[in-house]
Structure 1
Amino acid sequence: MTTNVKSVQVAARFVLRILILVSFAAFGNPDFGRSFAALLLLSVVLCVVTGIKRHESMFARTLTHWDEAAAYALLYALTATINQAWS
């Protein structure tokens, strides 16, 4: 598989997973921000465990589960900051 195709697959997986997380957070609990933050944190853990299990390199030329975990962690930090500011 070429590097470009693999990176596109990771990006598509990220977008699909974000859509699923947003829908679960929106319909699961009245407090969207806290639910979304918790789901993002679980996604970070899932991606880290998957990256370790698959022996993926953290600084590979293609996107990996490590990059996905970093993106979820940044979104978690942003969500937690916004939640704290609005509380």
Structure 2
Amino acid sequence: MSQQPNAHLTREAQTIRVIVRFWLRMVTLLVFAAFSSIRFDQSLMLLLLMSIILSAVLATLKREQPLGSVLNHWDEAIAYAALCCLIVSFDFHVLS
């Protein structure tokens, strides 16, 4: 049976690692959305959708448990989905 690469880290270290990874990815997405040729909200929403898919695929490949005791790629995917829904709701509110 193979050992997972994060097995030697404590729960706190794994959680901090996921939070740092999330914020680094968010900064990168915001920079790419800011310099996009389409509207900021549309490009950010598309980048968030791609991040949701990427996180879900990585979580599946690493066989991570959803809603586990530590943060993982599934939690990142949920955070990206929540931000995407927030953008859609603001966009809908502005159009009404």
* Aligned counterpart, 1:31: 39
**Does residue 66 of structure 2 align to residue 58 of structure 1?**
yes
| % identical equivalent positions | 36
**Who wins on radius of gyration, i.e. which is larger?**
2
Letter in 2 for 1:21: L
Q: What TM-score do the two structures reach when normalised by structure 2?
A: 0.87
- Report the equivalent of 2:13: 5
Tell me if structure 2 keeps the 8 A contact 1:34–1:83: no
Runs of 4 or more, structure 1, over 3 Å off, are none
State the number of aligned residues: 87
User: Secondary structure in 2 aligned to 1:50?
Assistant: helix
1:58–1:66 Cα contact (<8 Å) kept: yes
Q: Does 1:73 align with 2:81?
A: yes
Which structure has more helix as a fraction of its residues?
1
Q: Secondary structure at the match of 1:41?
A: helix
Q: Which amino acid aligns with 1:61?
A: S
Q: What are the ranges of 5 or more consecutive residues in structure 2 without an aligned counterpart?
A: 1-8
How far the C-alpha of 1:30 sits from its partner, in A, is 4.0
Q: Structure 1: which 5+ residue stretches go unaligned?
A: none
